[in-house]
Every structure is written in C-alpha cells, then in structure tokens.
Chains A and B, each alone.
Chain A
C-alpha cells in the first residue's frame, strides 16, 4: 500500500518534471526564429566586422584585397585621420537631439496632455507627426535642399531682415545638415515623449499647485522628473541614428561638413577599404555605447537598460 503510494507520488513528480521540460522546450521553439535572426543578422555580421577591422590591405593588390592579420594600427590610424569627422558627428547629433527635444517636448505635451479629452484633435495631431514617414526619407531630405537653396524664399526673407548677411548661404553649411537631422528625427523624439506624457496624471500637477509650486516650479519638480523616461528614450532614438547618419550630410552638406557615416560609406563602397571602414564602424559603435551608458546612468533611468 505504502509502496504503491510512494510509487504513484514518484510518478507524479516525474510527470511534473516532464511537463516542465516540455514547457521549456516549447519556449525554446518559440524563441528560435528570433534567436536565429539575431545570430544571423547581428552577431555574425558584428563578428565579421570585428574580424575585418584587424585585416591588412595588400599593398599593390587588387581593389579591396585584404589578408588576415591582427593589425591594431587600423584603429589608431582611423582615429588619428578621422577624429574631426567623429567630433562633428557627435556634435551635430547632440545639437539635433537638443533641438528635437526643444521642439518635440511642447508638441508632445500639447498632444498628450492638452488635447487629452479631445480624441479627434489628438488623433489629427498624431497623424501629422507620423505622416512624413509615408514619403521617402531621401525625398524629404532633398526637399530641404530646395527650402534652404540660395534662391529660396527662406533665404530671401532671412536676408531681407538682415539675419543672414549678403552673400551668405544656408545650403552646404553645418546649419543645413543639423536642420535636416532635426527635421528627420523629430518624430523619433515626439512619439516616445507622447507615450510617456500620455500617462502623466494631471492630479499630480494639481497637487504641485496646491503645495505652493508655481507652474514653472511644478514643471521642474513634478512633470519633468516623471517624463524623464520619455526624454531618455526619445533622445536615444534620435541621437544614436543621427550620430551614424550620412544622408543629411551627403545631400545638404559639403565635404567640410561630412560626418563619420559619410567616411564609412566612402571607405566601404568607393575606396573599398574594408579594414578601415570596419574599424571606424566598431569605434562608432563602442563610442555610442559608452555615451549612452553614461547618459542613462546620469538621467537616473537605469531600469530602461
């Protein structure tokens, strides 16, 4: 009797363990496509990139010919030669991020908080933020070329009110590149901010007012800290692609405004210098990782990582 009971219990336990094993196997099956995708399109390319970044070009060899090597000088040479482009990339991306935040925060606030009880208006404004995505990124950037062209109305007006001196131009300047970046990445700032502000509890703002905080002070001590996660994710979504962007500089700038993306593009596809291009890519990746890590720590939103 007792033995039979024990046997049954053991069997039941085994059954449970079996079930758990089956469940965990099923979880792996569900995960497989995603894992395969990651390995195939992220881990493998990064490994190849890392490998190529140490290769050596064959002097006098065919175009793009390399031999396997462990040449750390690829990195030091790349940094020495392209430091200005790296600096410019991070500076432009930083300015564009600050500008998108300055433009995007009030916009997101109006859509998410002020228009909260007017779904039609709210929907309309959201569509207006997203609508540009329906046209090609390249086309929209080329349009900016027209807007900032020497004979454009914008330039004429700026010259008429003497903001822009005679003979100065907007196109092919750092201004044009930053303007293009700001315009193109604005929705990436607005949408995360909107998602965050949408959950902002108005009663907390009332509580701030009730506790002697002026509207400005309430914003600083209540609204801003509560929307920090939105600010962090918005600025990451803006800064990271902007730092690696090459379209805006290529279409709206000159060689004098080229960013690291333009250099990588040229090294890969025109010079066919895979080791340098790879080393530059790795440096960009690591630099962004370090900057982002520092930023997220600073903002006190570690739980985002």
Chain B
C-alpha cells in the first residue's frame, strides 16, 4: 500500500446553518502524510469542517481541493476520503470482515479478502473477522471502524473524535496505536478532538479552532510554547495571564518592557504578539518558581511578590499552588514534588520568579476568554 501523494486544501470555506455560522472563512493546506489535529471546544465548528471534507455537508462558500482537484461539489461516495465516525457507525447486519470489505466491494476492487485480512491484522483484530460488531467491546469496534477506513487507502482519513467513547486507559493506548498505524500506512490523518492532550501527543500539526475560525496553527510544541491568543493560551494547557501596559517597545535591545500592576516585567520582543498598548503577559504555571524566605532568584528573572499562598493542591507528581500577588492577582504555580522542597502552606508569604524567555505577550482584547482564575468584572453590581 503506497499512499497517494495528495494534499488537502481548504480555500475560504464557510458553513452557515440559518443565522449561525459554524465555520467562518477557513483556509488551510494539509500536506500529504501529515497527522493534522483540529482542536477546539464543542460547537467550534470542527466536526462541521470534517463533514465538509467528507462531502456529508455542502459548504455555503469556499472550496475543498484534494490533490489540486476541486471536489467541492463531488458527492461523498465519489471522494477519495474515508471517515472514522464518532459513533463508529459499523453496519450491524454485517460481520467484521464484511464491514471492512464494504468500501472495497463498492468500488469492485480486487484481492478484497487479502486486503481485509491485512487491515484487520494492522488493527490487531485478526481473529475477529467472523464476529458481529455488536459482540465487540468499544475499543474493538473503534479498531474495526479504523480498519474499515484505512483499507480503502484514501487520500485523506478523517477521524471524528474517535476515542471520545473510550475510557481513559484505553484512550491512551489507542492514541499510541493510532500514531503507529498512521506511521505505518503513511496516510494523511485529519483528527478532530476537543482533548488537548490527545491533539498534542498525536498530531504533528495542530489547528486550534474557536467559534468557526482557526485561532492558531502549528506544531504542538510551538503552540504550547508561544500561544498567539488568550484562547489558545488557555485551551492548550493553562496559562497565567497578567494584564499590563507596554512601557518600552524594545526597539533598541529587542526586549519588551511591560508595567503590570506596578511590577516591571521583561520579555523578548519576538515572543510578543502585541508590542504596544495594553497587553496580557502570559506565563505557564510550570515555568513559575516559588521563592521562599531568602532564596535568590536566577539572575535576570522576573520577580513578583511577595504574595500570599491561598491554596495548595497535591497532584502526585506536582503540587498546584495559587498565590495572590497584590496588584497583579492570583497566579497558578505547578511545582515538581522534589524531596528537597520546603513545604509551603496556605497563608505563607512567597515570591514568584520566572525567566523572561518563557513569558509571552498577547494583545489584550476585552473579548479574550477568562484566564485560569477569572477576575471578577467590576460592573456586576446592580
């Protein structure tokens, strides 16, 4: 099975249901052989986008191209695309082998039996060929659905939250399996999920979607390290976002100076999505160090505090602290549970520090979603 070298391209694709815009003018290119994740909360339009690629939904505007060929008006059954449905949608009247053979039989392909056997072997269900889908476990059904799609060797394989119905342990296992199968068959996988961990562990490119638009697109490490919007900063992992004002544009030394509640913070200008006016300074909780007593910060670090520890939650490998810093607000800190650590209890005074090269700056839009700890808006009083 050599994969067809065809990329998938979406050009200004839009879908409206009445007044509601599910997908809003999205354009992107997925290169052949890539593992592409569409990540977003439910209702963000990611499934609608997948259905438009599959041909199960007609876009209101825009075009879908597969290998350069415009398939926007091509019917679902004529597209070189297969889907692993969220519900698996296995045919209950056919056994496992016939489910997998369905697509091959419809296209009157040869060597159906051998190819079905190979596909079942790939998903490690060789002995289940004669079973009815209703007699399989959820994880096995999921594998059959995958085999049924992969066996057709499509240009693009679409996965619609395929692991959503599985329990956590099985989900982890299937994440690894899926990645292995993708490496093995080399097909382009487009994976829709609301699980950020799933997207980050499996995909080589992640597109974070929100309200019908793509907020940011890139390799997961890049998205995590340098989010460009507050939505991405909080949907992909968690972030501390501190409102501030740029006081030094950094035109000389490439270092941005920001005043946040009276504290001067610095970060490389290259890590700022906005370099003037009001900004949000972001720092991941695991990048923040707790400084007790006289512990010295690293040279050049941004130091906040002292603040009061409000909450301590023990999570096994790490401990989560919430520290309220006067003038800045509450910040979340994840600290590894190393043996040498001095225990910190609620009510203790601590300082916080982080290296400027881990901080990032985002444009401060009033529409930005709430950071980890939602600051109460001042105007709630009636």
Residues of A participating in the B interface, judged by any CB pair closer than 8 Å: 201, 203-204, 206-215, 217-218, 221-222, 225-226
Question: Could you tell me if A203 and B89 are in contact, using CB atoms closer than 8 angstroms?
Answer: yes
In the bound complex, how far is the Cα of B148 from the Cα of A213, in angstroms? 14
Which residue on B lies nearest to A203, using beta carbons? B89
Can you pick out 28 interface pairs between chain A and chain B where the beta carbons lie within 8 Å of each other?
A201-B87, A203-B85, A203-B87, A203-B89, A204-B89, A204-B91, A206-B89, A207-B85, A208-B77, A209-B55, A209-B56, A209-B75, A209-B77, A210-B54, A210-B55, A210-B56, A210-B85, A211-B82, A211-B102, A211-B103, A211-B106, A212-B107, A213-B102, A217-B106, A221-B102, A221-B106, A226-B92, A226-B93
Question: Could you tell me if B87 and A212 are in contact, using CB atoms closer than 8 angstroms?
Answer: no
Q: Given the complex, which residues of A lie within 8 Å of B106, measured CB to CB?
A: 211-213, 217, 221
With contacts A203-B87, A217-B106, A221-B102 taken as known, whether A210 is within 8 angstroms of B77 at the C-beta atoms is: yes
Q: Given the complex, which residues of B lie within 8 Å of A214, measured CB to CB?
A: 75, 77
Residue of A207, A217, A225 touching B89 (CB-CB under 8 A):
A207
Q: Given the complex, which residues of A lie within 8 Å of B245, measured CB to CB?
A: none
Question: Could you tell me if B152 and A211 are in contact, using CB atoms closer than 8 angstroms?
Answer: yes
Q: Given the complex, which residues of A lie within 8 Å of B333, measured CB to CB?
A: none
14 further A-B pairs in the complex, CB-CB below 8 A; given A211-B103, A212-B78, A214-B75: A201-B87, A203-B85, A204-B92, A209-B56, A209-B76, A210-B81, A211-B148, A212-B107, A212-B152, A213-B102, A215-B77, A221-B106, A226-B91, A226-B93
Q: Given the complex, which residues of A lie within 8 Å of B229, measured CB to CB?
A: none
Q: Given the complex, which residues of B lie within 8 Å of A217, measured CB to CB?
A: 77, 106
In the bound complex, how far is the Cα of B280 from the Cα of A16, in angstroms? 73
Q: Given the complex, which residues of B lie within 8 Å of A218, measured CB to CB?
A: 77
User: Binary interface profile of B, 82-122, with partner A (CB < 8 Å = 1, else 0)?
Assistant: 11010101111100000000110011000000000000000
Q: Report the contact-size class of chain B (Cβ under 8 Å from the partner).
A: 20 to 34
In the bound complex, how far is the Cα of B107 from the Cα of A211, in angstroms? 9
Q: Given the complex, which residues of B lie within 8 Å of A204, measured CB to CB?
A: 89, 91-92
Question: Could you tell me if B93 and A210 are in contact, using CB atoms closer than 8 angstroms?
Answer: no
- Taking CB atoms and an 8 Å cut-off, the chain B residues in 290-333 that contact chain A are none
Which residue on A lies nearest to B76, using beta carbons? A209
Question: Could you tell me if B77 and A212 are in contact, using CB atoms closer than 8 angstroms?
Answer: yes
Q: Given the complex, which residues of A lie within 8 Å of B107, measured CB to CB?
A: 212
Q: Given the complex, which residues of A lie within 8 Å of B85, measured CB to CB?
A: 203, 206-207, 210
Q: Given the complex, which residues of B lie within 8 Å of A210, measured CB to CB?
A: 54-56, 76-77, 81-83, 85
In the bound complex, how far is the Cα of B133 from the Cα of A201, in angstroms? 15
Which residue on B lies nearest to A213, using beta carbons? B106
Which of A209, A210, A217 counts the most chain B CB atoms within 10 A? A210
Which of B77, B92, B107, B148 counts the most chain A CB atoms within 10 A? B77
Q: Shortest beta-carbon distance, A302 to chain B, in Å?
A: 14
Which residue on B lies nearest to A224, using beta carbons? B93
Residue of B56, B81, B90 touching A206 (CB-CB under 8 A):
B56
With contacts A203-B87, A210-B77, A212-B106 taken as known, whether A225 is within 8 angstroms of B82 at the C-beta atoms is: no
Q: Given the complex, which residues of A lie within 8 Å of B90, measured CB to CB?
A: 207
Question: Could you tell me if A225 and B93 are in contact, using CB atoms closer than 8 angstroms?
Answer: yes
Q: Given the complex, which residues of A lie within 8 Å of B78, measured CB to CB?
A: 212
- Taking CB atoms and an 8 Å cut-off, the chain B residues in 34-83 that contact chain A are 54-56, 75-78, 81-83
Which residue on B lies nearest to A215, using beta carbons? B77
Q: Given the complex, which residues of A lie within 8 Å of B77, measured CB to CB?
A: 208-215, 217-218
Q: Given the complex, which residues of A lie within 8 Å of B83, measured CB to CB?
A: 207, 210
